[in-house]
Structure 1
């Protein structure tokens, strides 16, 4: 086989083995399709090189072949004449890549088996394979291709919740070693033919320096063994130690949560379902009963996801912020509340938690705000973790009568009134049915929708992982009626748009738990989503459709002016009724969701005991270390027991001889591998007491006879002699050496070295097997070098 063909095949194998790390991320037949396409591209490269095609032409042709294959497999309907990729092919490819990235951002691993995700995975793997082929074969720098394999491994390792299994590191490592071995053999083949070897069958093959090849195999084998064993032996580090999420890592135990500007809704769901209920922030001031703190508002709904729309140029924070959108009153007469917020380092967010509507904030440099949403976001990608800032907010207090009399004549923007075209008619009909009693009054209709969600027909549960896409909303609204705040907020926002009320979805925190000195503590499980509806002259007003299992009371201003008996129960009069300040809410969670706050609003944070607060881990760690230290002793004891249980005969005698050898090594005696049994027997006499000399002579002469005498007794039983010799050696050894022989026997390390050698020799035998197969298949083929 030519050198370039060998490296090409090794590059293909490295790509396939490296792509195994993507199996926890993607599902479906992406791996088999990728392996097949990479094989075709590799075959084209080998064929062109055999035809002496200029080196620079080969990767260009391979790229065209790869594009053609991807188009035929996934985009055949867009190709011109069904064969030629065209402009429509490129547009469709780009569209599917966008859809794939959207799904990757929305769903946790393993991703669903969708065509666009399969195309994405296959494209990544095949492109990586082509680059590996170019680097290893064309540029002849196989070592650098390891960076691509490392990237392929680190991406899922950083994104899969809980990390990848340690054993998944082994396939890319093996592929990389095979690639390096193939390149090294090709390089050495230019020196000439081998002058020594272990088989005449491979003598005609290109040279492979045996010592160097064996050394490479041993090093590679050791690297793979370390990579496989070390993660299993070391304790797992928390995610925050290295850094996880948006940016940076928190102090303390490394636990925390992240909110990105890409998909805040998805991040909120992850924090509620799988995040730790750590403290996100504390604050003082605001309304006496606590304040809702908002991160941002999602105003764009395309039928699949709720996102932040394309915003105009952000405003720098230099003083007071702009007036809240839609409010037509005199803001100078509106009272203001002051707050001081201290964000912990465990909450990593590009958005700063603030009440709505915000008036001013002490965050200045590297922070900006949006005039419509009045959310505060970093301008350079930094995070709010560890920040402490002061702010003032408007204490707007709309009355039910004001909302009842409000007439919305137009939408405040081009996004918040848009109802996706593919909204099912069943949802529209249900909305009209729920709001029929309101007549033409938008506020009354909004309250009826809120009341419908909180009427008892719906169940609050964080187990709903279907998200807030159109199909998920249809299932939630009309069928299972089970979800958490994401489904309730987006469901009401969509229904409000259907009846002509502009709406968006706020993402932020519930007021949290009151503490001493007027300080409120907000935890990660206090994250919440709610709909905000627009009313002319008043602006954006918060509603609360999430059932009482999560939030016990609704805002006071959502009680209709007519006093309809079907309206939500009015909260206590002491509760502030402002869209920017929260009420004193009773927080309740389903019994099956014990990690969330209870009915009193106090998050369940079990202080536990010494065992649950780390003592159990310490005990497990000590036991694990103890077990690890006992492994050499257990292996030695099992080996000794097996040797003495063997029946008399040649194999049993050799096992007993090996046991005496290992005992001598364990006790620090200089056993010689090159001495004959008789010479070793004479040496043993110098280490044993006189009463054991006959046993030593019988053992040595018995081994000598079994090895060299044809008429030796095949049923010779040497177990009594071996036992006596072992006990005598053990009795004469110093106490320190006996303890070392028990817990860290040197013979165990010798067996590890021998095992590595035998494994490397097995690789040599595999190489010779390939040489024999080549000789059988191509008996008259003359080798040639590359």
Structure 2
């Protein structure tokens, strides 16, 4: 087997093994399709090289074959005459890529085996395999292909919640080792029998360094270097930038939303700001007027993010859940409501939407609950999409008098009373000043905070606040901008409640939704909401509502202060006249239309605009960025040449001009010898140049020779004119094809890259020898066969 065929097959194997890391992200037959298409592309490359086709033609033909295969497999209906990819093929491909990136941005892994997602996965793997083949076979730099395998590994590392198992790193590492071994064997076979390992330190004392150990150290050091340097070199990307970058301002595809247990606050903000308002779930039953459906409670705030605190062992669902934390009344006398919830396939959540406090739920296998938060989540990373379940919940309705008389002696846990050390004094002073009239009554203070957020503080509801819920964002929200959405209102009130000594956490879930005449409630993605939950001894966790009426019309009935008339609502309810027995404030907090959110009807409108506005413009920008990246060798080569000719006369300037003639020769495909003397190189140059340029070539060569061997006597010699004449003659004599190659991809760039790789390899060889010497000093020497004492 020829060397290039061996490396090509190894490149295909490295791609196939590397693609295994995408199995936690995608599903369906994408692995088999990708492996098959990559095998065909590899076969085309091997066949063309066996036919002695020019090297630059091989990747072009492979790329055309790749486009043809992807079109035949996935876009056959858009091809002209059923065989030729056409404009419609490009437009359809772009549309599917936009849909795929939107799905990745919204859904949690694993993604469904939809056609556009399969096309995306196959395209990524095949493009990676094509680039690995170009780098390893055409450019003969197999070591650099490891960057592509590492980039492929970062896709699941960045999208799979909870991290990846370390075993997934083994397949791409094995593929990388096989590729390096194949290239090394091909290189060494040109010189004769392969030698494994560094065989000696000196002639008197042979010491062997294991070849496998050398490979392991090289790969390990490479991975560590990349892991250390890559985050520093790449700028931090804002959340969702990849999906938005391709999708642009699309009206949406109606494919739903993803909510994880890792960062539900972030997922909520993403769904409210950019998500489609599709149906998340429907339900029947529950309290009159609907109910909040909670996903979880965020009880840990470190000054930067609100998240779920470390929990103890989760409990399996089996019958009735534990009683509500902090409630010391008789649960047998508390009314219980029943509900049936049907979750659509658009809500891909590891957390289950349930009312609080939950009594029982029909979910059993693969689901568990936390006794402190009474939230239900998956025990194996599964999602609730498409499931239907029944539940019962306690209809706790504390009275203002009960809450007013409640005495909180301490926190119910070790997280919900923590006020971060970096909390600004300005926020603390604001909390105390606003609640001064409460006279140390915790409930009265909480109501004053709620009313200040909803009316007295002159806040504006808007989803344009993108700063999040960290300490700096809360400070700006409370004291300066006073503009935000439910995340800022909930976290701001929760922090201020903790400052006042009230245990507080943030609930994440859904507003009650809207009902039809048959009592079926429909909850949409834009009904996602956040609210503070405050703890009162004897009652437990109680929901408050600081978000203004632009989003939530009314406050809970129990949050009317004890010294106010109980029939005075804080804001006008959105429901009709109350029937006898109903509370004046109404138990439902229905959302009004939010002008800052997309269409609230939930009907996905057809995307307007043309190909350019629906992602084509971004695709062109990406293409221009790639083109700019490809121009880097030309740019560096041009700047280097200009710098060399601008140097003043002298030894450094002359050596730079000599290096420029060497690099120009290599760029134009001439065989410059690194071991020749300046006089020999000058004679060789003269043989490649017209006769009228021979004197300039001889003066240039003899000038370099004099500088190197005659000391400082010729230190001020000026060779710029002779170097310019020689370079111009070399360039003029070269064929047009070589001149264009020298402009676009100068081979001297690859030579410097190869030289840097070899020098790095030499350093690693020295490292191997050092380890071998240390081992020979520490470990006892084994006696040689047949040795005897004299």
TM-score (norm 1): 0.48
Larger radius of gyration: 1
